[in-house]
Amino acid sequence: MARAQGARAQMALAFESLYGTPPGSGFKQVPFASTSLGGEQPLLGSELLGYGRDPQAPIKDAFSAGGDVVVPIDVENIGFWLKAAFGAPTTAGVAAAAGTIVFSGQPAVNATITINGTTFTFVASGATGNQVNIGANLAATLTNIVTILLASVVAGVLLANYGQTGGTTLTVTYKTTGTAGNAFTLAASTSPASAGTVSGATLTGGANTHTFVSGGWTLPSLALETQMPEVPRFAMYSGVMVDKLQWEMRRSGLLTMTASLIAQNETVAAATAAGALTAQNLQRFGHFNGSITRLGSALANILSARVQYDNNLDTIESIRNDGRIDGADPSITALTGSLEARFADLALFNQAVAGTPCDLVFAWTISATAALTFTAHAVYLPRPKAEIQGPKGIQATFDWQAAIAVSPARMCTFVLTNTVAGY
């Protein structure tokens, strides 16, 4: 008899077009560390008298579904949870894809390079069309290559700019920022020998920023399926909305985020309703990638930080014959947190006394194409006690609250940089 194990469990996620109705396809496999998401329906004990000491059968009470999901803060998958919590992001290109072909020597006659599917052939002389004359030296040959590529009328070739560096390297840079250039292909023949080595099968480095902002009145709903294939048990949760997001920053440990969810329904079946799953790349941020800044300067002597964003969802508990909620409407948001700091200066203490706001920026950076930044634009600090509890360092905890800022006119912003085309 098979027994369910967390090691084999999976989670599938898709956004709903209609609240409470899971889509027929398009589910993504998303990583998670743990989940308490589930449906429950308590029993109401009988209050009736006159039937002896033994009670009558209980009846079912209203159905409710929800729970927490702990997910890694990573480069790509975290965007799904941010979209669920904040709404669809604004996506814009931030970096252009690029690549190179490095030549170790002169190419042979009839050797080729292929630029985004178009082949260019090296000839001794008299080049026509997509042919390139081999020059007196490699630098001259590269000049000829660049001239031919820049003059090309092929639509696929015209998508990039071309140049040479060091007399040995052909540089290829996609003309527009974003992820489209990551599909632009490069190749160099080995027989006849082109003497060229491509940086990769495609250009790389094209990236987008996805900007999620607080304050939106309309939030999307999710369909989530938790899968236990051994039993088998496939539980589809529909009408799922994110009520809270919370996370901590520390010096070490695994960096995760907890999403608190409210769902409308749970349907349990012996087979998946999510169909074939696709998955994003998994590249996790670590605590060592993190930083905290205040008013543009690094905030020192912070031992830990906690952040919680709350949509304050208002569940619509209408009278229905299925016991489900009618929906969950977003109310006034809240953004709170705490900073545990060593007393080394009075910057935070003086701000708390003055009652003036500041911005706090929590950021994780792996590379130019893998970064996440969260900005609380107007943070207010309470005045804390400065307790001396022994001979070691003195610490203070600032339990802060955020509010809407003057500029920009919102409370907080998430900016996720990656190579995903959109969420």
Q: Are strands 64-72 and 314-316 parallel, antiparallel or unpaired?
A: unpaired
Q: Are strands 358-367 and 314-316 parallel, antiparallel or unpaired?
A: unpaired
* Cα torsion 78, 217, 422, 406: sign: negative
Tokens 């529909």, residue? 238
| pTM of the full structure | 0.90
Yes or no: say if 387 and 370 are a contact pair by the CB < 8 Å rule: no
Q: Three-state SS string across the chain, please? A: CCCCCHHHCEEEEEECCECCECCCCCCEECCCCEECCEEECCEECCCCCCCCCCCCCCEECCCEEEEEEEEECECCCHHHHHHHHHCCCEEEEEECCEEEEEECCCCCCCCEEEECCEEEEEECCCCCCCEEECCCCHHHHHHHHHHHHHCCCCCCHHHEEEEEECCCEEEEEECCCCCHHHHCEEEECECCECCEEECCCECECCEEEEEEECCCCCCCCEEEEEEECCCCEEEEEEEEEEEEEEEEECCCCCCEEEEEEEECEEEEECCCCCCCCEECCCCECCHHHEEEEECCEECCCEEEEEEEEECCCEEECCCCCCCCCCEEECCCCEEEEEEEEECCCCHHHHHHHHCCCEEEEEEEEEECCEEEEEEEEEEECCCCCCCCCCCCCCEEEEEEEECCCCCCCCCEEEEEEECCCCC
The tokens describing 250, both together, are: 């520390």
The tokens describing 422, both together, are: 């959109």
Task: Report the C-alpha gap between 140 and 271 in whole angstroms.
Answer: 64
Which residues 6+ apart lie within 8 Å of 79 measured at CB?
89, 210, 416, 418, 420, 423
* Per-residue tens of pLDDT for the chain, all 423 residues: 577 788 899 999 999 999 999 999 999 999 999 999 999 999 999 999 999 999 999 999 989 999 999 999 999 999 999 999 999 999 999 999 999 999 999 999 999 999 999 999 999 999 999 999 999 999 999 999 999 999 999 999 999 999 999 999 999 999 999 999 999 999 999 999 999 999 999 999 999 999 999 999 999 999 999 999 989 999 999 999 999 999 999 989 999 999 999 999 999 999 999 999 999 999 999 998 899 999 998 887 788 999 999 999 999 988 888 888 999 999 999 999 999 887 657 788 888 888 899 999 999 999 999 999 999 999 999 887 766 666 766 677 889 999 999 999 999 999 999 999 999
